[in-house]
Structure 1
Amino acid sequence: MKRCRHRWRELPLTVKTTPVIDAALARRLVATQFPQWAGLPLLPYAPAGSDHVIYRLGEQLSVRLPRHDGAIGQAKKEAEWLPRLAPHLPLAVPVLVGVGAADFGYPWPWAVSRWLDGEVATVDALSGSHEAAVALAGFLTALHRIDAGTTGDLTGRPLASRDPATRSAIAKVGDAFDSAAMTDLWDTALAAPGWDAPPVWFHGDFHTGNLLTTNGRLSAVIDFGELGVGDPARDLIVAFTLMSAETRATFRAALDVDDATWTRGRGWALATGLNAYVSYAAVNPRVAAQTARQITQALFG
């Protein structure tokens, strides 16, 4: 099944020069570090996301090479934690079969994963689906129930850590959105009571572009580079990237979200949407449309 992925993610605060990545480099890395797959066809996958250059390796595998140093921890993180989480989750997640090392001038770890068939979820297909809203709530409920007590250094940053960048982004977008409404929402989200229960797992980048569908139904969640533990409000972003007001209400009820957590979730949606908008909108009209929807839906509530 053909998968079209027009994905974006927040730019890290500091990004070094992107190394030169091409098919010849990918093939040399595979051939020397995973010789059992050296004979498989390797084809570039496009369009990929902002974090990785992706190649399809044979019919069953993919190769992902980070584009910048903000993405270099994903391979090892997914290799360590996804095998522990996957048995408890109702949707498929990536299965890493190898983590490669720096070589041939390429400076970072990289990954070989099982290929997940499917098409990236779209607003047109799923925004009105109450079934999808319930399925996403079920995925998050299952994720939040997994013991997060031995997670080392995966503690997520609080919403307040986004304050300077978010206020700066509100100023930068000018008249594209209602700056007074954004400031009011942001102030309200920061003032909302914090998460005072034990920390739970969060995906961390839970938006439309990281959901796959098969035959029109949700089938997988991908891209766990921002996986961490802390406040579950961070994963409410999907309610504003994908859902309508009606299906958002279904999602919230199924997930049983209290008012304070929902308000913080709107704050996360606003902050991440603004970050992506100011980073990508001028050069990528598709991202502009996606993040504009996220921001306006967060303001709507």
Structure 2
Amino acid sequence: MHDDQVEVTAEVVAGLVREQFPEWSGEPVRLLPSSGTVNAIFRIGDGLSARFPLRLKDAGAVLAVLEREAEASAELAGVSRFPVPEPVALGKPGVGYPMPWAVQTWLPGAIASEVDVSGSVGFAEDLAGFVGDLRAADTRGRVFSGDNRGGEIADHDEWVAKCLAESEGLLDVRRLRALWSGFRELPRTSADVMSHGDLIPGNVLVADGRLSGVLDTGGFGPADPALDLVGAWHLLDAGPRDVLRRVLGSDDLEWERGRAWAFEQAIGLVWYYLESNPTMSSMGRRTIERLLE
């Protein structure tokens, strides 16, 4: 998927486990099929999963990120009513893999990209409950750090312009450019709240049509309250989407900013992952379709 991607196999992971965590050396290691773009995920036995960053970076920088993510994940676990993975250990670079890696608890359930819950009112209510739990958490005076999404929408003009140029022939670029011109003007009027930051189908677990868990919690931090509303367009059709809005009490401005963040994320998925990750590309296209309804 990426020019600087590091390949890692189950055999390599098993070797790293034997060397660094001998207490798990008898557990089977298997690669999990995933549409994720940041980490390769391996299951260790029945109770653990290991995340291996895919893009080659300095080992020290990767370790700092993994440590921050572990701290954030533990904090989110303390406020969520729904199960989330909890950090267990950090692995070191070793034979066959040049960067640190992370071990966390395994959660059962099917990811929402494999089980369609877009029409489920119950799931929409659950998702609103999860977002509400995060919003109610104490920011402890922290504010948005300036990384990725969650601050000022217009700061993403350059990225969106590139995505629109790359999307010629794939999407209705003229219409999308007009949509972004309105989104980028939306004012920011509310203070940061705690946010998951990436509520896409691949990060949401489902059981019996209801939310059963949330993955990829290492980005938990302060951001625009509208940021987690991206899940309304990534995951839900119109009726359940309205239910989520009603439960959260989003006003018109917050709702439109949520649409803007969903747009900023989706517009980069369609063209970038068109050939290397069709699941992510299709997800982006479906979100764009919902935004244009």
TM score, norm. by length of structure 1: 0.86
Q: Secondary structure at the match of 2:78?
A: helix
**Residue 27 of structure 1, CA deviation:** 1.7
| Equivalence for 1:149 | 140
CA distance in 1, matches of 2:11, 2:275: 31
| Equivalence for 1:77 | 68
CA distance in 2, matches of 1:99, 1:263: 39
Change (3 A) 1:77 1:69: farther
| Equivalence for 1:224 | 217
**Residue 183 of structure 1, CA deviation:** 1.8
Q: What aligned pairs does 1:1-301 form with structure 2 within 5 A after superposition?
A: 17-47=4-34, 49-69=36-56, 72=62, 75-104=66-95, 106-122=97-113, 125-149=116-140, 151=142, 154=145, 156-197=150-191, 199-300=192-293
Superposed CA deviations along residues 178-197 of structure 1, whole A, max 9, x for unmatched, are: 32321222121111111432
CA distance in 1, matches of 2:15, 2:144: 33
Change (3 A) 1:52 1:122: closer
Superposed CA deviations along residues 86-122 of structure 1, whole A, max 9, x for unmatched, are: 1321111111111112233533221111111100114
**Residue 225 of structure 1, CA deviation:** 4.0
Change (3 A) 1:19 1:178: closer
Whether the aligned pair in 1 keeps the contact of 2:154 and 2:185 (CA below 8 Å) is no
CA distance in 2, matches of 1:88, 1:167: 37
Aligned residues: 286
**Residue 153 of structure 1, CA deviation:** 7.6
**Residue 161 of structure 1, CA deviation:** 2.0
Superposed CA deviations along residues 241-290 of structure 1, whole A, max 9, x for unmatched, are: 11111111111111111211211111111111111112102344333322
Superposed CA deviations along residues 185-235 of structure 1, whole A, max 9, x for unmatched, are: 2121111111432x1111111111110012332100101243331202121
User: Which letter maps to 2:198?
Assistant: D
Moved more, 178-187 or 264-273: 178-187
**Residue 57 of structure 1, CA deviation:** 0.9
Identity of aligned residues (%): 34
CA RMSD of aligned residues (A): 2.4
Whether the aligned pair in 2 keeps the contact of 1:154 and 1:227 (CA below 8 Å) is no
**Residue 24 of structure 1, CA deviation:** 2.7
Change (3 A) 1:223 1:101: same
Q: Secondary structure at the match of 1:108?
A: coil
CA distance in 1, matches of 2:144, 2:3: 23
Q: Which runs of 5+ in 1 are unaligned?
A: 1-10
User: Which letter maps to 2:136?
Assistant: R
TM score, norm. by length of structure 2: 0.89
Moved more, 83-92 or 199-208: 83-92
Whether the aligned pair in 2 keeps the contact of 1:274 and 1:291 (CA below 8 Å) is yes
Moved more, 138-147 or 156-165: 156-165
**Residue 151 of structure 1, CA deviation:** 4.5
| Equivalence for 1:7 | none
Q: Secondary structure at the match of 2:104?
A: strand
CA distance in 2, matches of 1:209, 1:111: 19
Whether the aligned pair in 1 keeps the contact of 2:234 and 2:286 (CA below 8 Å) is yes
**Residue 32 of structure 1, CA deviation:** 2.1
Change (3 A) 1:124 1:64: closer
CA distance in 2, matches of 1:31, 1:123: 33
CA distance in 1, matches of 2:145, 2:21: 29
